[in-house]
Structure 1
Amino acid sequence: MGWLRGPACLLLMAAILPALGQTQFKWSPSKMVKHMGHYPYIMCSLTNVVLNASDGVFYYASKDPLLSDCGDLDTVWQLQNRPQQSQTEIQCDEEYDIGHIFLIFFFAGGSNYYHLHYDTMLPLYKDVVVGQNDSQGPSRVFMPAVETSRLQKINWKTPAFEKADKYWVQTTKFIAGKYPFRPLDDRLRRKGHNICLKEARFGTPKVSFTDKTFMRSFVKYVKANLQIVEPDFVPPRVGIIHRSGRRQILNDQELVDMLIKDIPVDAELIDFSGMSFKEQVQAMQRFTVLAGINGAGLMNCLYLPANAVCIQMGPYKSDMNYAQFGEVLKTRGPYREWHNTHEDLHHPVPGDKHNTRPNTIVHLDEFRTLIQEALKVASGLDKDEL
C-alpha cells in the first residue's frame, strides 16, 4: 500500500497522535545517526520523533529506511515510519531537545547495583554530563524502560518504577538530575501524552571502563551532587560486605572478630540491603579497606576514599567475571584479589551447575595477612599503589 497523502494522511495522523495541545511541533523529515553503543551494542539517534504514549509507539517521518543499521532498536522499542507530505505540525503535550531512551536491569522484582552502574549510570554520565555546559544545555527528558527479556520488546506493565525509594529508581534518576523523568510504563500510557523529541537517543554510548580519568570524574560527580565530602583522614577501619543471598561468606562475623583481636583494627560487617543510594555512598567514607565476595555490593568500592583498598574475593574454582569487575574497581585506587583455593572451605549450592553461587568459608590466616598488607597500603606506606 502506498503512503497516504493529503487529507487522508491528516486524518490518520490525528487518529494515532491525539492532539491534547500544549505546543506545536514542526515534524520535519527524520534523520538517523549511528554510534557505538554499550547496551544495546549500537546506539541510534533519530531526529524529529513523537512518542504517542497511549499506544507506546515512537513515530518518525522519512522517505528512506532508517533502521536497517540500528541493530536491535526496533526489536526493543516499537517504531513506525509515517512519511510526512503535507502535515508539518503536531500537537505536543511535552517537547524536548533530547530524549534519552534506555534500558535498566530489572528482574524478579529487583535490580542489580553492578548492572545499574555498568550498564546505565556510567554510560548515561558520559552521554549527558561529560563535556556539557549545564547552564546552556539543551532540554532533556529521561525515559527508562525494562525489557520483557534480553533485547526483546519493552514491558510497559513493569512495576520497576512505581516506588521512588528503590535504589534502582534513585540511581537512574540521579543522572537525570533536574530533568524530567518519564519511565515507559503503564502510568505514562494512561496519560496518553504526545512527547515530541527533536532528537531521540535509543540506548547508551560505549564507555571505556578502564579510563581512570573518566571513572574518577564520575565518582567526583556523584559525591558532589550527593553533597558527600570525602574526609581528609580516615582512621584504619575494615568493612566486610555481608551477603544474605548467593555467594555468602559463612564465617564473616568470625573474620571481624579475628581482625579486632589479632591485628588489632576496627572492623565491621556492612549490609547494603535496605540502604538508599546516598546511604551506600556515605557509608564508604568511613573505611580504609573494603572486602567482599564477587558481587554487586563491591561496586561501592568506587566511592571509597582515594587511598582506601578494595578487595575482591572469589569462591573456589568459580568462573565469575573477576577480570571485568577488577578492571572497573582498579580505576579508583588500590585493589587486591583473594581466591579460595581450599576445597574443604567450599560450600556448593544444590542446582548450581556453573558454580556461580557457592558459599565460602574464608581462610583466617590468609585473610589476616591480606588485611595487614591492605592496611599498609592504605596508610600511605606504599605510595606506588595510589
Structure 2
Amino acid sequence: MFIAFGPYLLYLFLQCPTFAAKTSLECTRGHYPGAFCHGRNVYLNHTSKTFVVDAENDDEELPREGDTTFRVFPVETRRLDAIPSCDRVVEEAYFYTFYYYYGHSNYYHLHYDTLLPVYFALKHGTPEERSDSGQHRITLMPSVETSRLNVMDWNTDAFSEKHQNKYFVLIHQSLAGNEFDLVPADSRFIEINPSGFTCFRKIHFGAPRIRYPDEDTVPNFVEFIRNRVGLTRPYVSPTSPKVGIIKRSNRRRILNEEELIATIQPFVEAELVNFDGRTFAEQVSMMLEYTVLVGVNGAGLMNGIYLGEGAVTIQLVPFNATQLNVREFGNILKSRGPYLEWWNKHEELNRGNLERDPYNSQADTEVHVDEFTQLIRDALKIGINRKLRKEEL
C-alpha cells in the first residue's frame, strides 16, 4: 500500500509517545551498499537527519562491517541520558537505496541492486524473522543517495508528483502492493516535526547479498511481480517461436537490426521490441509473447527475466567491451531459464571510439549476420522453442 503524506500518515504514526528500550545494531555482508544491517529500538533525529543508537558509552563503535552502509545511512552511537519522546513509532522498516542519478533511474540497477535483494529479505528471512514480522505491518522506505555511496538525500524529488507515473515509482508500488506500506524517505517524512524523533522498533539498512545464478529467488520474484501487476496463471503462451530484438536509442545500438530481422524471418517470426513509453506492467506482460529475446548488454535486457517458462535470452556484447557487467547480466538471466551469449570478435563491425571510450562500453555494433543467424537457430533448438518449432532447422 502506498501511503500518501498528509493527515492520515500523521494519524497513523502518532500512536506511541514513548519508546523506552535499549537499542542494538548488527551487520552481515550485504549486496548494496555493502552490508545488510539490522537494528532494534533505533531513533531517527529529524534535526540532524541521523539514526541514533543508544549505547552504553559515547565512544562505542559501530559494527565495522557496516562502514559503507553507514556512509549512506548515517548512524551514530550515543549514550542517551533521557529517552527521546517519539513523534511516531514504526514497528519495522526497510531503508534501502535505488539508482536515481541525474534525475532518472536505471532498469538494470533497479532490479539487480534493489528489487531482487529487497524481495529476498522480505520473503526469505529466517523462520524466526518471518514469524516476528508476521505480527505487524512492514514499512518499505526507499531512498536515494546524494551521489554513489554517499549520504542519503532527504531532499530528493524522486517520489514527487512529477514522477508519479515513472516506472521506478510504479515498480516500488508493485513491490509493496497491499502487503507492505510504502513510505518514501524524503523531506515529507521529517517535515511533520522537523525537530522531533521517529522511533523504529525494528529497522534494516541496505539489502542482503544474493549469489547468482539463484534458481529459487529469481523465478519466485518474477511470479510475485506478475501477480502484482495483475497477471495470473494460466498465462497465455506462444503457439510458435517468436523472436524479439530489443531496440536501443542512444548507445550500444544494433546498427543492422532490420537486416537481421529480414535474414531470420524466412524460418521464424521476428520483430523489434521497443520499451519506450511502456508502463512497467506493460513491459512485464509483453515479455510473455516471445520465446527468444535478443539484446545488447543494457537495461532493457533485464526484461528478459519476465519471459515465459523455457524462453531463451540472448545477450550481445560489443567488441572488446571488457568492463561491462556481462557476467552479472548473464547470471541473473541464467537463473530464470535458457541463456546464450554472442561476443563481437570482429573489430571492423565495431562502431565505437576507443580514444574517447577505451573500454568500448558505449560502442554501437553491426552484428555479424551469419553468426547471428546461427545463434537464433541454436536458440530455437532449446527450451520451449524445441517443443514449438514445426520443422527442422
TM-score of the superposed pair, with normalisation by structure 1:
0.86
- In structure 2, the CA distance between the partners of 1:233 and 1:270, relative to structure 1 (3 Å rule), is closer
1:221 aligns with 2:224: yes
1:257 aligns with 2:262: yes
After the TM superposition, which residues 180-329 of structure 1 pair with which residues of structure 2 at under 5 Å, given as runs?
Answer: 180-192=181-193, 194-229=197-232, 230-260=235-265, 262-263=266-267, 265-319=268-322, 320-329=324-333
After the TM superposition, which residues 45-64 of structure 1 pair with which residues of structure 2 at under 5 Å, given as runs?
Answer: 45-53=38-46, 55-64=48-57
Q: Is residue 260–residue 369 contact of structure 2 (8 Å, CA) maintained in 1?
A: yes
Q: Is residue 238–residue 290 contact of structure 2 (8 Å, CA) maintained in 1?
A: no
Structure 1: state its 5+ residue gaps.
1-19
Q: Is residue 29–residue 84 contact of structure 1 (8 Å, CA) maintained in 2?
A: no
Task: Please name the residue that 1:343 is paired with.
Answer: 347
Task: Please name the residue that 1:10 is paired with.
Answer: none
Q: Give the one of 114, 117, 126 matched to 1:120.
A: 114
Distance 2:53 2:302 in 1: 39
Shift in Å, 1:341:
1.6
**Amino acid in structure 2 at the alignment position of 1:164:** Q
- When the two chains are superposed, the root-mean-square deviation of aligned CA atoms in Å is 2.4
Report the 3-state secondary structure (helix = DSSP H, G, I; strand = E; otherwise coil) of the residue aligned with 1:43: strand
Shift in Å, 1:355:
0.9
- In structure 2, the CA distance between the partners of 1:225 and 1:130, relative to structure 1 (3 Å rule), is farther
Task: Please name the residue that 1:157 is paired with.
Answer: 155
Shift in Å, 1:137:
4.3
Distance 2:47 2:279 in 1: 33
Distance 2:100 2:68 in 1: 19
- In structure 2, the CA distance between the partners of 1:234 and 1:195, relative to structure 1 (3 Å rule), is farther
Q: Is residue 104–residue 120 contact of structure 1 (8 Å, CA) maintained in 2?
A: yes
Distance 2:316 2:373 in 1: 14
Task: Please name the residue that 2:386 is paired with.
Answer: 380
Q: Is residue 124–residue 175 contact of structure 1 (8 Å, CA) maintained in 2?
A: no
The farther-off stretch of 329-338 and 36-45 is 36-45
Distance 2:177 2:154 in 1: 23
Report the 3-state secondary structure (helix = DSSP H, G, I; strand = E; otherwise coil) of the residue aligned with 1:365: helix
Distance 2:97 2:214 in 1: 23
Deviations 1:128-171 (A, max 9, x none): 12354799343221112211222211122222222221112222
**Amino acid in structure 2 at the alignment position of 1:380:** R
Shift in Å, 1:21:
4.8
Q: Is residue 140–residue 183 contact of structure 2 (8 Å, CA) maintained in 1?
A: yes
The farther-off stretch of 283-292 and 68-77 is 68-77
Distance 1:282 1:135 in 2: 31
Q: Give the one of 2, 15, 33 matched to 2:26.
A: 33
Aligned length: 360
- In structure 2, the CA distance between the partners of 1:335 and 1:228, relative to structure 1 (3 Å rule), is same
- In structure 2, the CA distance between the partners of 1:185 and 1:124, relative to structure 1 (3 Å rule), is same
1:101 aligns with 2:105: no
**Amino acid in structure 1 at the alignment position of 2:366:** I
Task: Please name the residue that 1:90 is paired with.
Answer: 85
Percent sequence identity over aligned pairs: 36
Distance 2:208 2:79 in 1: 28
Deviations 1:197-233 (A, max 9, x none): 1011111111122121222111121112222243244
**Amino acid in structure 1 at the alignment position of 2:385:** S
Distance 1:233 1:135 in 2: 40
- In structure 2, the CA distance between the partners of 1:99 and 1:135, relative to structure 1 (3 Å rule), is closer
Distance 1:228 1:199 in 2: 33
Q: Give the one of 358, 361, 367 matched to 2:366.
A: 361
Shift in Å, 1:120:
0.4
Shift in Å, 1:274:
2.4
Distance 2:203 2:145 in 1: 18
Structure 1 runs of 4+ off > 3 angstroms? 52-55, 84-87, 131-137
Q: Is residue 234–residue 288 contact of structure 1 (8 Å, CA) maintained in 2?
A: no
**Amino acid in structure 2 at the alignment position of 1:181:** L
